[in-house]
Amino acid sequence: MYIIIVGAGDIGTPLINIATRSGNEVVVIENDPKRADRVAGQYDCLVLEDDATAHNVLVDAGIENADALISTTDRDPTNIMVCLLAQEHEVPNIISVVHDPEHMNVFRQIGVNTMENPQQLIAGYLYRAVARPAIVDYMRIGEKAEVFEITVTENAPIGGKTLIEAADSDLLPEDVLIVAIEREGEDPPITPRGNTRIQAGDMLTVYSAFGAEPELTDVFGHPEDRTQ
Q: 52 near 58, Cβ under 8 Å?
A: yes
pLDDT at 147: 92
Q: Which distant-in-sequence residues (6+ apart) come within 8 Å of 6 by Cβ?
A: 12, 28, 29, 30, 52, 69, 70, 71, 72, 73, 78, 79, 82
Provide the total of helices (H) and of strands (E) in the chain, helices listed first.
8, 10
pLDDT tens, position by position, 12-24 = 999 999 999 999 9
Q: 127 near 145, Cβ under 8 Å?
A: no
CB neighbourhood size of 181 (10 A): 20
pLDDT at 69: 96
For residues 34 and 13, what is the distance between their CA atoms, to the nearest angstrom?
A: 13
Residue 177 Cα to chain centre, angstroms: 20
pLDDT at 109: 84
CB neighbourhood size of 14 (10 A): 11
Q: 61 near 48, Cβ under 8 Å?
A: yes
Check pLDDT > 60 for residue 227.
no
Across the range 70-88, mean pLDDT stands at: 94
Task: Map out the domains of the chain with their CATH numbers.
Answer: 2-116 (3.40.50.720), 123-227 (3.30.70.1450)
Which pTM value belongs to this model?
A: 0.64
Instruction: Tell me: cis bond preceding 188? Omega within 30 of 0 counts.
Output: yes
Q: 140 near 128, Cβ under 8 Å?
A: no
Q: 228 near 130, Cβ under 8 Å?
A: yes
pLDDT tens, position by position, 131-177 = 777 887 778 787 789 999 999 999 999 999 999 999 999 999 999 99
Q: Which distant-in-sequence residues (6+ apart) come within 8 Å of 31 by Cβ?
A: 49, 50, 51, 52
pLDDT tens, position by position, 108-139 = 888 888 776 666 666 777 777 777 778 877 78
Which phi and psi angles does 112 have, rounded to 5°?
-105, 135
pLDDT at 136: 79
What stretches of the chain adopt beta strand conformation (E)?
A: 2-6, 25-29, 46-48, 68-71, 93-98, 113-116, 135-141, 145-151, 176-182, 203-208
pLDDT tens, position by position, 25-68 = 999 999 999 999 999 999 999 999 999 999 999 999 999 999 99
